[in-house]
Amino acid sequence: MTVREILKMGDARLLRVAQPVTQFDTDELHQLISDMLDTMHAANGAGLAAPQIGVDLQVLIFGTDTVNPRYPDAPIVPRTVLINPVITVLDSEMESGWEGCLSVPGLRGVVPRHARIQYTGFDQYGDPISRIADGFHARVVQHECDHLIGKLYPMRMTDFSQFGFTEVLFPDLVDADDEAGVLFAGRTLWSLRLSCSTSAESKSNSAARSNDKPLSPWSLTHGCPTDFHRFQ
pLDDT (tens digit per residue) in 164-178: 998 898 776 544 334
Q: d(Cα 31, Cα 37) in Å, to the nearest integer?
A: 10
pLDDT tens readout for residues 11-24: 999 999 999 999 99
Instruction: Give yes or no: 201 in active site.
Output: no
Q: What is the percentage of the chain residues whose pLDDT exceeds 90? A: 59
pLDDT computed for residue 186 by the predictor: 33
Helix/strand/coil for 54: coil
The span from the CA of 215 to the CA of 205, in Å, is 10
Higher pLDDT, 58 or 187: 58
**H or E segment to which residue 136 belongs:** helix 135-147
Per the residue annotation, which of 28, 144, 167, 201 is the catalytic one? Answer: 144
CA distances to 22, 33, 48, 137 from 27, rounded to whole Å, are: 14, 10, 20, 29
Q: Are 70 and 184 in contact (CB under 8 A)?
A: no
Residue 33 CB partners (closer than 8 Å, separation 6+): 59, 61, 81, 124
Question: What is the average per-residue pLDDT within 134-157?
Answer: 97
Q: What is the pLDDT of residue 184?
A: 33
* More confident call, 217 vs 9: 9
Residue ranges and CATH numbers for the domains of the chain are: 12-156 (3.90.45.10), 166-222 (no CATH)
Query: What is the model's pLDDT at position 223?
Result: 43
Q: What is the pLDDT of residue 217?
A: 42
What pLDDT sits at residue 226? 37
> Rounded mean pLDDT of the chain?
79
